[in-house]
Amino acid sequence: MYGLAAPPQGRPVVLQAGDSDAGREFAAEHADAVFTAHASLEAGQRFVADVKGRLAAYGRAPDDLLVLPATTFVLGDTDEEARERAALVRRQQVSPPTAIVFAEQLWNRDLSAYDPDGPLPDVDPVEGEITIAPGSIPARAFSGKRQRLVDDLRARAAAERWTLRDAMVETRTRHSLVGSAATVADLLDRHVQEHACDGFIVVPHITPGGLEEFADQVVPLLQERGSFRTDYVGSTLREHLGLA
């Protein structure tokens, strides 16, 4: 038998992704960090309190598990410029075929015959077994509440005069952080200081290179307030994350 030598960090960092009760319990017992999708301060605080409240049962301390939500961002010289830019980015991200895919995940049925630049489908969604993209997180998240969500979406679309694509752009592609560099830095810092997370996994809308403006504009502001490192104290991911 052949074995692998232990890496310099002892064991690889274990990240868990998933918001189910079973997923949270697994994270409390085994994970070093949790990858979440909670964008609001209040939702993050509830998640942190819940998952870290489970650690003691496994002989672990709160600092043994990091909560790291994914966050997208759009920056501008002003908050208004950032909002305008974010609207443009969202529309570019949702092409007509993508709009149909998003709608099919909600309706749980084939909508390929519908015009993405036309009105919302006039058929009702299909509850029960997931037949469209059964492995996707959105398809599962809609389960059991599709009719209510579709009814709400139809009401909003009628009021705003949205096409199907407009509806998907406005409801399925929201950026977590939109504003000037100072506004975004304030939001990031507030989430950590008020125990909504331990840090963030930043997801740019353009790759590669999408993190450059964030690193150049936001990171220095966080460093000035002592909320972000100015140098690394180790050479492994475990050390960078401050894990034992």
Select from 112, 146, 172 the last residue of a domain: 172
**Is 79 among the domain residues?**
no
Go through the chain and tell me how many residues it has.
244
Reported as a single tens digit per residue, the pLDDT across 66-109 is: 999 989 999 999 999 999 999 999 899 899 999 999 999 999 99
Same domain, residue pair 38 and 61: yes
For residue 221, give both structure tokens.
Answer: 């502001």
Range of the domain at 117: 95-172
**Is residue 196 a part of any domain in this protein?**
yes
Say if residues 201 and 69 touch (Cβ distance below 8 Å): yes
Residue 165 has pLDDT above 70, yes or no: yes
Residue 84 lies in a domain: no
Q: What is the pLDDT of residues 190-242, one digit of tens each?
A: 999 999 999 999 988 888 888 999 999 999 999 999 999 999 988 999 999 99
Comparing C-alpha atoms, which of 162, 182, 180, 181 is closest to residue 172? 162
